Amino acid sequence: MTPAPFNTLPGDPLPMARAFWLRAEDGVRLRAGHWAAGGASGTVLLFPGRTEYLEKYAEVAADLNAAGLDVLALDWRGQGMSDRLQDNVRPGHIGSFLDYQRDVVEMVVAAQDLDLPRPWHLLAHSMGGAIGLAALDGGLPVASAVFSSPMWGIDLHGIPEALALALATAMARLGRGGHPAPRSGGEESFVLLDPFRDNLLTHDGRRWGRLVAEAAAWRDISIGGASNDWLREAILECRRLATLPAPALPALIALGDGERIVSPRAIRSRAAGWLGARLLELDECRHEPMIERDPVRDRFLQAALAHFAAAASP
């Protein structure tokens, strides 16, 4: 595992993560990061969302470490410091959602090579929730799962799903599959474009400001809107996931009352059909419980830690 960079902003403490490079079987280079708790009682495999990168989870990883859990995360292919998948590196792009499972394989191999403490648990946010559900169906070796606003459907803001899929498919046929999809935000990071009052992620001004500072300082690891190919593949993957049986393990699924990025209907439908799943509905919460105001964030993290602990008990 060759060492990889890990960014900090002025005034940050020294990075607690050890970042390193992985190589997927198809040759794509991936950046992973390990936050070690010391004497940990288990490990959290953290699956980030679209546009995200290791550094965004430093605060969450510190909280999990303080609770006695190691954390392993990675930058998905096409974002963060992992290899981009086309010449224009700004749009969020993927050729097939199944390719993300190649990244999951390397993450599990790294966890084994590092001999990370067991049991392992899944913590997946947004797009990571789609990747995580697919990985569970493929046998991801975890004892429990926590999902934060999982992308099991997409809020298309009034556009019929069939129309969005048809448009994205048509753009790909016209050679514009790698271009930003309409209304996706273009090539710039949305946190540099959206005013705080209109953002869909959080009510917390300090944590929103941190995202803006990171996007401005680390433009090389941020990305813009989703490509037409990403949108097409995401819709198709959400449809496929809806047909899968519920995994046979306990799950905690968090949904904010202000959710406008993923589909609350799809989340509630999956939770209702999952034996052993609990739906945690959060008031005064937008898309990201882990960077919300402290009362909401604390409620989510306490519930997640209790869920992990219960699954780890004999």
Q: What DSSP line would sit under 146-207, residue for residue?
A: EEES--SSB--TT--HHHHHHHHHHHHHTT-TTSBPTTS-TTS-GGGTS-GGG-SS-S-HHH
**Closest among 144, 178, 52, 47 to 100, alpha carbons compared:** 47
What is residue 206's predicted lDDT score, i.e. its pLDDT?
97
Judge if the upstream peptide bond of residue 182 is cis by omega within 30 degrees of 0.
no
CB 92 within 8 A of CB 226: yes
| Per-residue pLDDT tens digits of the chain, which is 314 residues long | 899 999 999 999 877 899 999 999 999 999 999 999 988 899 999 999 999 999 999 999 999 999 999 999 999 999 999 999 999 999 999 999 999 999 999 999 999 999 999 999 999 999 999 999 999 999 999 999 999 999 999 999 999 999 999 999 999 999 999 999 988 888 889 999 889 999 999 999 999 999 999 999 999 999 999 999 999 999 999 999 999 999 999 999 999 999 999 999 999 999 999 999 999 999 999 999 999 999 999 999 999 999 999 998 87
CATH topology of domain 17-312: Rossmann fold (3.40.50)
**Domain range list for the chain:** 17-312
Q: How far apart are CA 130 and CA 234, in angstroms?
A: 9
Nearest of 76, 50, 80, 46 to residue 63 by alpha carbon: 46
